[in-house]
Chains A and B, each alone.
Chain A
Amino acid sequence: MELRIHNLSKTYANGVRALNGVSLTIPNGMFGLLGPNGAGKSSLMRTIATLQEPDAGTITLGNIDVLTEKDAVRQVLGYLPQEFGLYPSISAEVLLDHFASLKGIRDGHERKLAVEALLQQTNLWAARKKNLGGYSGGMRQRFGIAVALLGSPQLIIVDEPTAGLDPTERNRFLDLLSEIGENVVVILSTHIVEDVTELCSNMAIIAGGEVVATGQPADVIGELRGKVYRTKTEKAALAQLKSEYEVISSKLVGGQPVVRVFSETPINRIFQPAEATLEDVYFHRLSRRQKPVVTA
């Protein structure tokens, strides 16, 4: 199964252009969709999840036309939206069972097994009889993924699942995602580069409603290999540095800025060569998009 997105565009009624000619081919396996807030990730994912209509473009999942054969898509879809609420006065076990039946698991025994297995896997077993109103953010997120994984989805869409999770919760969550088999399309949108690095076999970077890079993480990183340098500097010197070099990112380490710079040519006087990371690519692409660098 392969998800093909072709030339997808969407402008909201308020004039915001959320998607602009997005084309992607997403094979089986974990696909990371990286982009800053407001890049159009959620719009894209909602559109794939049959919840939103594009102005133009097509989406196909295998032989299914996602935009018109919504029922067929929903039958193989697992979707975890970025933000969602749960009925507060109902227990996880009951609600999950309810969703399981709505997902088409008609056999009662099967449903029981599925619910039990997922509650265990999402580590909600101990809290399964608690009302959802009392769940922490991480537990809710795990419950959400349990809903998304119910049945046998072929297309799993998880929208910014790790945002707002503490590191432990995040790890648990990513562990869980990694359990999903290889024969399923999983789209994970995030603005955290590590999520992609750690999990995804394919990825795309999206910004301003456009795809700015796509491929396997290694390939995407490949384009920057050997062209990234780093140095420590003083806060006062930062502005000058930024005007002289193409700064990818600057981070404070122990209160002192550590700057990473992109350069086609070796700059070894004050900089040390550094191993290119996906994060470098991400920031590099984003900064290029925002202020196109004129390279003479």
Chain B
Amino acid sequence: MFRDVFLFELRYRFRQPSTYIYFGILFAIGFIFLAVEETFFGPSTGGKVFKNAPDTLANFHLGGSMLAMFITAAIVGTPIYRDDKEGITGLLYTTPLHKPAYLGGRFLASLLVIWFIMCGTSLGAMVGSMMPWLNPAKYGPFRLDAYLGPLLGGSFVNAFFAGCVFFSAYLLTRSSLVIYLGGIVLFLLYNIAGVVTTNLSNEHLAGLLDPFGLDTRTVVTKYWTIAERNTKLLPFGSGDMLENRLLWAGIGLLLLGISYASFRMGAPRSSGRPAALEAAPTPVPGAGIRRSPVVFGAGTGLWQLRQLTWVQFLNVVRAWSFRALVFFGVVNVLFSAYYRYTGDRVQMPVTYEILSLINNGFGLFFLIIITVYSGELVWRERETKLQLVFDALPMPNWVPFISKLLALVGTQVVLYSALVLVGVGVQLFRGYHGLEPDLYAKDFLLQLVNIILLCILSMAVQAIVNNKYVGYTVMILFYVVVFIAPDALGVHHVLLKYDGTIPYTYSDMNGYGHFVAPLLWVNLYYMAAALLLAVLTNLLWVRGAETSARQRGRLFGQRFGGGARLALAGAVVAVLGLGGYVYYNTNVENQYFAPKGLEARSARTERLYKRYEHLGQPKIIATKLAVDLYPTASPRRYQMAGTLMLLNQESRPLDTLFVNYDPSRAVQTTLTPGRPATVLLDDPEAGVRLYRLGQPLAPGDSLPLVVQVRYAARGFTSRSQDQSVFSWATIPPEDRLTANGTFLDGTGVRIGYQPDGELEEDDIRQRNDLKPKERAPRLNDPSGLMTCAFTRDADYIRFETTVSTDADQTAIAPGYLQKEWTTNGRHYFHYRMDAPMMNFYSIQSARYAVRRDQWRDPNTGQAVAIEIYYHPTHAYNVPRMTDALKKGLTYYTKAFGPYQFRQVRIQEFPRYKSFAQSFPNTIPTSEGAGFISDLRDPERPDGVFFITNHELGHQWWGHQVVGGQVQGSSMLSESLAEYSSLMTCKHEFSGPLMQKRMRDELDQYLRGRRGERKKELPLMLVENQPYIHYNKGGMVFFALQDYIGEEKLNGAIKAFLDKTRYQTRPYTNTAEFVSYLKKATPDSLQYVVHDMFETITLFENQLDEATYTKRPDGKYNVRLTLRAAKMRADSLGNETPIKLADYVDIGIFGPDQAKKTEDYDASGKPLLFKKVKLTQPQTVLTFVVDGKPAKAGIDPYHKLIDRHYMDNVKAVAAGETKGTVVAQR
């Protein structure tokens, strides 16, 4: 019996074309995944990670099987539904078929089919990886197990588990909609797990919670090095991954069991009780049938539309399934809010924060819901078999389609509104009362457009494809093309991405600002495309019994009358017109570059001009600018006019001047050398101009270069989402000059060839016919040491500027304000710096509030003015910033030496990027980098204090000491600024908070290694790699001050600073710095400097066992069994064990004192804390302590770099201490 059912189902599925369509789709996705150059699905791939790296393949299989959930639902969710729908259950259930055979046969056969379909992913990927056009350097050796593991442990388990959910959902509810509701719930769980992952201490929970295992993989592999990612298989059979798989497979089985037990072989319960039979008919004799007047024309169509829409809307909204969905959505928002507000980096719940809470991660949520409900609505009549009655009703053709569309949109509006209300609730609960209804309304409008676009698309797909399940799959394909892999598939331009993301950032300072135009026009263009889709859908709408392509074509012809032609023509005109306007803005007014176009441009510049890299050039020694900002004019514009004074510091006369300028169309640059010169070459594409000076510039002679730079915003651009956080350099010009919150960082004019713009990654260089290159010149490169790390065309300069702006705005630039006045409704500010500074200046302007304060050097009595310029509603942390600056100034002047300026200022700028940057006496800080941080809970790390002092530290590290253009220079600026800030934190915050801070550094460093794209280097050779110069640098210096003492380390640093302050040509390097460290370090600890600065050294420290016994004298014996190992890693993370002879912290602690202390942390009072020299892989230590021990650990504060830091600390258990204490170490 079982066999018959099983084989029947198999045969049924394998006769359906849809089975092969699904297989083909997954095969195609797998194929594309490996056969195109770009990687999609998952962050930080590429570089040295093979495209077919086991880690990448595992992620792909897990993600792919999540997206294939729709297919799983169609295959495994529907067999019993099909029997019910086709009405053959009556026949089936009356045969001697038993429940186990029936359900088992159907389920197992479906499972086999979905497993077959899932194999498409792997097969496609395997075939894709063998294509002849691939770059072999990007692919590792073919390994079958790298495909099979994720296929079995990932795709198959996910299909099994999801299949159980779908199958059970139908058995339990006998509703086809609920099958998909189950899918949405799974997706929300994944979403929640994703939110949970953001919190380090909840990772294990997150790993368990994600039904698809994606987050589990993230957690398990988060510290994998490049080498591991390329060679190690994701361990499906152990640890978190196994737990996750067992948990969810178990839940699947459990659900299956429950539904099996509750299922009875009978018709689905009908929703109403049978109506009682009534008495014999009592027809009204001779009355005839009532003939009611009907009205057609005269707006009846619209009237019917309203009636029908309302009924369809209520039908969805009143169903418990929809309420369940709203409930789950609300739960999801609450979960996200909970984790967001219990995490470490909490922001004030300003409205845009709340909106991001609601909108983030809901893109796919809404897409799935809309997809499912559009299927429900389109197929509603056909599934109740009412379609013949319904379709013969006297409605105009468009009424059914439009009414369903409106009903669908309506339901999504209800759902979204519910989420927004919850958001408002969260906002109020978090104690924020500055509600901004208008902002909610504007965001709602944007979301509404998004909802409408998706609704129309999914209805169109359902109507045109005319197969519910294939329609669902088409929507997933749409999602892959437009949201997951557009760039990999070459879909870059906004015009090509229907309902694609239009990158914009709302900022409290600047509102929607200059994003209004692209949002408006691109959305209008998408809406026009939607209109076109709607017209076509209406013409192809299935009405009646005809579904063959030929007959639908015929009906299309019939319906394609005057009105339809007009609508179609209107839609086409709208698409072309609006599309044309968008194109005009993005490609004519502005220059459009696909990513490859940008690469090609860089490559071209390099090929043409790299030969001038070592051409002697004069350096800028003074900059004097008049800057006029028109931030609220139309178009927004600015003008910079002034003189760059160039000096020949070479030993030979110079006859050629190499000038770079901004090549974007919106920027016009006029250059006038101060002596007769002919233009040898002008290349507006690269922004390069070469002058031959009429009379060569003699050594020591100077030449003024008069520059005039004009920018006027030109329409809008097709932006790509820019992920980099740190640099203002990559930000498009339209984000620099904004109505409220301008931030310019230079004229764009630079002297000499600029290698910074060169392509870096080897394979990208290769595909642009360039040879591989090193990322930075070597540590002692002589010409590198003659060049400043920050600006190749200047050393220290004199700087002066006059900035004019709108009357109500304040303009700020480096230097001291000389004069401020208003003329002709324009506000002028004249700044001059009276000391040499880096050629590194910001020009900011906004409607600021300002807080002024002062700090006085306790030793010299010299005063430093403190000014914080902030957006009036962002006053939250301004006092904290002031406090931080004061404490920083105190510590830094004492430890390192005097502050070189008489003033320090912080200015807020819009959160188009989230960073703070230190310019001379000027620190622009993003709205998103401290101004709205929520510091109300003193138990949480204070990021504002930390960032502020990091940037203040740069006034020493970067502005007093600068390295050359060689390896390691970013350590001199960033690691030292990080260390400086950490030291102020050390004296400001309690132990547990500091532990958190340092844990964060360790975590970031270890994650950073995973994302390395070229090679990891030891700290002193760092090549501008943030995870090394910030996070490893912070750890290393913090550990070093612990090993050799804070005073001693600061003394060495001060000596180095005294020696190298303002030193140029040659610039200093880290070799010189490390020599100061070595001088200050005792012989016994020289190895520490070597480990930390000159090599990549890691530890595997672990506390195996910790027990205590109480002694008669009231003290305690504690016995610790430790393991320790030390490794060296190469640039890709391959580790080699080395001999251990290291001093490591051993700590024994009283009960935890911080409220939320993790198991693997100790926040109690140290009963014993000392460095012990460990030489053996395993060591047993015994100690006597005075108080009752609660926890103990090896390197408990994580000063050493240890990838498995969670096994360092353990609770101390009561136990037998064997023997007596022989020796106390």
Contacts and interface: CB of A to CB of B under 8 A. Distances in A.
Contacts of A102: 304, 307-308, 393-395
Nearest to A142: B281
B287 A179 contact: yes
Interface string B677-720: 00000000000000000000000000000000000000000000
A134 interface: yes
Nearest to B393: A102
Given A86-B386, A179-B283, A133 B289 contact: no
A241 interface: no
Nearest to A130: B275
A52 interface: yes
Interface string A113-133: 110011011010011001111
Interface string B254-297: 00000000000000001111111110111110011111111110
Contacts of A75: 294, 296, 394
Q: Interface residues of B toward A: which range?
A: 35 or more
Given A46-B545, A53-B546, A118 B290 contact: yes
A187 B397 CA distance: 25
B396 A71 contact: yes
A113 B303 CA distance: 19
Given A136-B274, A175-B283, A52 B545 contact: yes
B16 interface: no
Contacts of B393: 74, 99, 102-103
A151 B385 CA distance: 22
Contacts of B292: 100, 105, 110-111, 113-114, 150-152
Interface stretch (B551-559, B608-616, B1032-1040, B1195-1203): B551-559
A31 interface: no
Which secondary structure dominates where chain B touches chain A?
Answer: loop
Contacts of B385: 83-85
Contact of B278 (A52, A100, A111, A123): A123
Interface in A116-166: 117-118, 120-121, 123, 126-127, 130-136, 139, 144, 147, 149-152
B307 A98 contact: yes
A79 interface: yes
B291 A46 contact: no
A141 B1014 CA distance: 75
B555 A53 contact: yes
Contact of A152 (B280, B281, B293, B307): B293
Contact of A106 (B300, B315, B554): B300
A51 B394 contact: no
A179 B278 contact: no
Interface string B287-331: 111111111100010011001100100010000000000000000
Contact of B288 (A88, A130, A133, A181): A181
Given A84-B388, A86-B386, A179-B283, A152 B272 contact: no
A284 interface: no
B142 to A, nearest CB: 46
Interface string B370-403: 0000000000000011101101111111000000
A49 B544 CA distance: 9
Contacts of A144: 389
A53 B554 contact: yes
A207 B352 CA distance: 71
Contacts, number: 170
Interface string B524-546: 00000000000000000001111
A99 B554 CA distance: 28
B289 A107 contact: no
Contact of B295 (A98, A106, A176): A106
A103 B272 contact: no
Given A103-B394, A134-B272, A50 B544 contact: yes
Interface in A44-90: 46, 49-53, 68, 70-71, 74-75, 77, 79-81, 83-89
A94 B554 CA distance: 36
B270 A81 contact: no
Nearest to B548: A13
Nearest to A135: B275
Contacts of B304: 101-102, 104
A285 interface: no
Nearest to B299: A106
A257 to B, nearest CB: 32
Given A53-B555, A98-B307, A79 B548 contact: no
A134 B295 CA distance: 33
Contacts of B274: 134-136
A20 to B, nearest CB: 18
B310 to A, nearest CB: 10
Contact of A50 (B277, B392, B551): B392
Contact of A120 (B271, B284, B288, B545): B284
Interface of A: 13, 46, 49-53, 68, 70-71, 74-75, 77, 79-81, 83-89, 98-107, 110-111, 113-114, 117-118, 120-121, 123, 126-127, 130-136, 139, 144, 147, 149-152, 168, 172, 175-176, 179-181
Interface of B: 270-278, 280-284, 287-296, 300, 303-304, 307-308, 311, 315, 384-386, 388-389, 391-397, 543-546, 548, 550-551, 554-555, 558
Given A53-B551, A106-B303, A134-B274, 14 more contacts: A51-B546, A53-B546, A70-B558, A74-B392, A80-B389, A81-B389, A104-B295, A110-B292, A118-B289, A121-B290, A132-B272, A136-B275, A150-B292, A175-B281
